[in-house]
Amino acid sequence: MTAAAAPDHDVRALLRDHPDFRRMWLSLMLSSFGDWLGMLAKLGTAAGLTVGDATQTSVAVSTVFILQLAPAALLGPLAGALADRLDRRLTMVVGDLLRFALFISIPIAGSLTWLFVATLLIELVTLFWGPAKDATVPNLVPARKLEVANQISLVATYGSAPVAGLAFILLTLLTGVLDNLLPFLRGGQSDLAMYVNAVTFLVAAAVIWRLDIPPREVRPREGGLAPTLGRDIVEGWRFVGGSPLLRGLVFGMLVAFAAGGVVLGLGRAFVTSLGAGDPGYGVVVMAVFAGVALGVWQGPRWLSGLSRRRTFGLALSLAGVSLVLVAVVGNIVVASLFVVALGLCTGLAYVSAYTLLGLEVDDDVRGRTFAFVGSSTRVVIIAVMLVAPWVANALGERTIAPSEHWSVTYAGSALAMVVAGVITGVAGVVSFRQMDDRRGTSLRSDLVRAFTRRGEAAEDPAPVRPPASGFFLAFEGGDGSGKTTQATLLADWLTQRGHEVVVTREPGGTATGRELREVLLSHRGDASPLSPRAEALLFAADRAQHVAEVVQPGLRRGAVVLTDRYVDSSLAYQGAGRDLPASEVETLSTWATQGLLPDLTVVLDVDPVTAAQRRAGRAAEDRMEAESRAFHARVREQFLLLAGRDPRRYLVLDATTSPETVHAKLREHLEPLLPAATGVPGTAPEPVTVPGPVRS
Ligand SMILES: Nc1ncnc2c1ncn2[C@@H]1O[C@H](COP(=O)(O)OP(=O)(O)O)[C@@H](O)[C@H]1O
Ligand SMILES: Cc1cn([C@H]2C[C@H](O)[C@@H](COP(=O)(O)OP(=O)(O)O)O2)c(=O)[nH]c1=O
């Protein structure tokens, strides 16, 4: 791998390199297909069992709808908390088997009551299955591929809807033909669809059974109290409320879903108010789907240079603006175009939010958080769908006449949509503010950077370099990614070629630095825990001393300086890890180093689990190493993000390959970049290694 862009959007590579994810994805596609087919078949069965009585039919159909939404709305968090304690693979397999049995029982029983009971039971099972599935995906793919994994999972979920629709039509037609041949199908038109659907769950169960899902990270709970379910749920809620990011995210998602509910609830009336009938409604529905698909699929790629948190807030605000535009244009064709934009922004917000949740939520509460979000969104959608038509009715038809010669008449549905749009827009701005991780950098410059292929040279601060400069290379990556190993190998090779080499590290590249290192890494701080800002300042102090005492003098002599960690470690550990604003940490480092940047930063990319295994041999973990897996996942994501923003100065290497392979790739990339050697090849002195504390 050479300089890789991050995050990674290559779908084919994702499916090829992660067979477990591929299997999971296939089973998800099947189950989703089954879900949609099942929904159509259940509605068909409800209608079929009440033939001839229009009122009874509509009551039966709405009962099925309500039974489908209600369990998740009422019991979602409970099921999520339970799901976090169960084995995820087993939960999914048992869930699929139960759904198989329940679906098959509906046509066999052939009774309306059993249809209702089975619908309820199926939804209850899905309540456990869903969070187990959502929480598993981040464990099957590396962090930088999570976004694309979410994208194709959403495509599997929603893309299977039209296919299921088509299959349903074909199966019902086929039922007519088969009626005479297979007497057991006589029961109803939807029966064959129900059987096919049941089989999809059976296949999905078999696929999941073969998955190798890594065990969950379970953190010890303080006080050793036996954790209770109630406590789990409260913790899940408190967890969402306690983090500004999650608060902003969940709040934003709820508002987005509320806006979606308004569109669903009022869409039909709105289209009628524009004088378009069923075909017009069809066009609008298709426009929404097209927009969402485009947003989910292409949005993250278009905005790959923008931070995900900013993307979410921006997309939500623009969704609000689009909704207002849809409502005010008064023409079905133009309105449909804005509907595409609305779908696009919503899809983009959705996939960003989903990925952020996967990355930011600790593994042991992830199921609960997803369940919490899932059930609250359902409550919101049901509530809004019920309330919106009532509000639209109350608003009635309004005529707005700004002048004598000009007046516009709006239907209540359009006005209600304007209100929803404004609320969504404002919520987007609030979310953006609350979660912003690039305070101090204007959104405009970020967007310019995102659209001009990551800003290139124009925006980089001119590095302060001594006149006769050598070459400055920084190794970055998680603890245990192999930085020390690679620095040693590279130093040997460079020395062979006649370069003067200085091998150094942060923190602790100087005598002063070693004292700071002691405070930073050994500080357990029970009495006075080190605050994130104090930590950031101490790392910056170490860096300032390091640059002045070791790096700059080395470069001035024309040496190749190899440092084990530099500025990006602060951006990753203090910025993304501790959640300090990245721009402030960057300002601090720029000040400490007087803007000195490496000529090349080599990111040794390895997943936190492998890195932790490599560190296992060491005597004790230091303060940073002992952080949670989610912390290390954020750190890794940040390194990759930084590398993706400036591919010219970065080289990302897959550090799970052998040390020799990593070294060979590094050499190959470095060779053309190096200045001429100052000594005679093979005769250079041994590399100067700035002493650091000996590792256990
Ligand atoms: N590419 C690699 N594959 C497997 N093990 C490695 C690799 N590179 C380094 N290691 C081992 O992993 C451990 C951590 O490596 P080290 O170079 O100390 O990492 P860091 O300096 O990033 O903490 C060491 O035991 C080392 O031998
Ligand atoms: C340089 C730097 C390091 N760190 C952390 C990362 C590491 O966990 C720790 C340095 O430990 P160290 O033992 O040097 O790293 P490694 O385990 O990779 O060999 O300090 C920061 O949090 N911020 C910084 O700016």
Same domain, 399 and 437: yes
Q: Do the annotations mark residue 469 as ligand-binding?
A: no
pLDDT-derived band at 691, boundaries 50, 70, 90: low
The number of beta carbons lying within 10 Å of the beta carbon of residue 404 is 6
With respect to residue 683, please indicate whether it lies within any of the assigned structural domains.
Answer: yes
Q: Is the pLDDT of residue 688 over 70?
A: no
ipTM, 2 decimals? Answer: 0.96
Instruction: Looking at the structure, tell me whether residues 551 and 511 fall in a common domain.
Output: yes
Contact between residue 589 and residue 544 where contact means Cβ atoms under 8 Å apart: no
Least confident stretch, 229-238, 346-355, 616-625: 229-238
Same domain, 436 and 506: no
What is the per-residue pLDDT for 95? 94
Residues 500 and 551 in one domain: yes
Amino acid letter for position 147? E
CA of 246 to the centre of ligand 2 (A): 27
Mark out the alpha helices in 616-678 (DSSP H runs).
Answer: 629-645, 659-670
For residue 538 the two structure tokens come to: 């101490």
Answer yes or no: do 624 and 557 share one domain. Answer: yes
Q: Residue 212: exposed, middle, or buried by beta-carbon count in 10 A (0-12, 13-18, 19+)? A: exposed
Strands 501-505, 471-477: pairing kind: unpaired
Number of independent structural domains in the chain: 3
Nearest alpha-carbon partner for 604 in 564, 548, 559, 551: 564
Query: Does one domain contain both 450 and 467?
Result: no
- Domain closes at, from 421, 456, 491: 456
Ligand number with the minimum distance to the CA of 692? 2
CA angle 453, 456, 460 (to 5 degrees): 140
Q: How far apart are CA 254 and CA 295, in angstroms?
A: 18
Q: Give the percent of the chain with pLDDT over 90.
A: 26
DSSP string, 102-150: HHHHHHHH--HHHHHHHHHHHHHHHHHHHHHHHHHHHHHS-GGGHHHHH
Residues flanking ligand 2, CB < 6 Å: 479, 483-484, 505-507, 521, 539, 565, 569-570, 573-574, 624-625
Q: Which residue has the tokens 């750190």?
A: 635
* Cβ atoms 540, 570 nearer than 8 A: yes
Classified as helix, coil or strand, 502 is strand
Distance (angstroms) between ligand 1 centre and the Cα of 606 equals: 10
Q: Does some domain include residue 221? A: no
Q: What is the sign, positive or negative, of the torsion defined by CA atoms of 570, 572, 574, 580? A: positive
| CATH number of the domain to which 479 belongs | 3.40.50.300
The reply to whether 478 sits in an annotated binding site is: yes
Residue nearest to atom 9 of ligand 2 (CA): 624
Residues 425 and 484 in one domain: no
Is residue 569 assigned to a domain?
A: yes
Same domain, 184 and 266: no
Identity of the amino acid at 490: L
Asked which of 456, 490, 511 is the last residue of a domain, the reply is 456
- What residues make up the domain containing 645? 460-689
Cβ(592)–Cβ(504) under 8 Å? no
Q: What's the mean per-residue pLDDT of the chain?
A: 80
Confidence of residue 221 (pLDDT cuts 50, 70, 90): very low
Judge if 536 and 607 occupy the same domain: yes
Is residue 462 scored above 80 in pLDDT? no
Rounded CA-CA distance 171/45 in Å is: 13
Q: Give the Cβ contact number of residue 525 at 10 Å.
A: 12
Same domain, 385 and 287: yes
On whether both 196 and 259 belong to a single domain, the answer is no
3-class secondary-structure state, position 352: helix
Pocket test for ligand 1, best of 475, 485, 521, 568 (most atoms within 8 A of CB): 485
Is beta strand 406-410 parallel, antiparallel or unpaired with respect to 398-403? antiparallel
Say if residue 463 is preceded by a cis peptide, omega within 30 of 0. no
pLDDT of 164 > 70? The answer is yes
CATH number, position 322? 1.20.1250.20
- Do 179 and 295 reside in the same domain of the chain? no
